[in-house]
Amino acid sequence: MNSGLLRILVLGLVLLVAVVAMIPRRAVPPPEAATELPRVLALPDTSFTDHNGNAFTTQNLTGSFSLLFFGFTNCPDICPLSLQVLAAANALLLDTTSVPPPRVVLISVDPARDNPARLKAYLGNFDAKFVGITTAEENLRSWLQLLGVTVMKQPLNGQNYNMTHNAQIFVTNPDGAIIAIMSSAESPEMVARDYARIRARYLTGTSAISAQQ
């Protein structure tokens, strides 16, 4: 191949790349039920123990997107329903899209009863890939205060008690910081759709957070 033809081919390739770059990308619509934060919210460094008995810190949230949910294994309604929806949402993402499902992390608000073995057995009812973490009440307090999560202990008959708590689901980016909040696990379809949009908007720089970085 002579040098003149090679120069023409290189020039043509450069022009093609430039034209492709100028084609406007299709905008990713905002989430329907979730709220994207105007800036990332970094989580305080806190030491947890996961459902396998291993140490877990905020560093373990890095590397992929996650959904954080506060709950407990004795929860009579909100927790099992939410975890069922999250498991179904991840299955939808796997079966119908090319979007990698998020890591789902249950943060126990009942450390007195939720030891690692109990968390592992409980989460196995929904999705064996789910992660459960627990820590002492004083360690958890900084996360609850930062995220505005209210937890109250309600005595029942005898020594039994219930824990009331918020149902929000917090979306973290691959740096382990909060970027969006879902008010609840409304339905598998809604969670899957909103998560995919939040993820895409963050990665493509079209969310409010990405625009400020």
One CATH from 3.30.565.10, 3.40.1280.30, 3.40.30.10, 3.40.250.10 for 35-212 = 3.40.30.10
Contacts by residues 57-62 (CB-CB < 8 Å, ≥ 24 positions apart): 58/176, 59/176, 60/176, 61/103, 61/105, 61/172, 61/176, 62/174, 62/175, 62/176
CA distance 43 to 197: 23
Contact 181, 67 (CB under 8 A): no
CA–CA distances in Å: residue 77 to residues 45, 51, 81, 82, 182: 30, 21, 6, 8, 18
Enumerate the domain spans of the chain: 35-212
Burial class (CB in 10 A: 0-12, 13-18, 19+), 208: middle
- pLDDT value of position 60: 97
Residue the block writes with tokens 């560093």:
59
- pLDDT value of position 18: 46
State what percent of residues in the chain have pLDDT above 70: 85
CA distance 72 to 87: 16
Task: Express each pLDDT in 78-87 by its tens digit.
Answer: 999 999 999 9
Work out the average pLDDT over 168-188: 96
Residue 61, both tokens: 């949230």
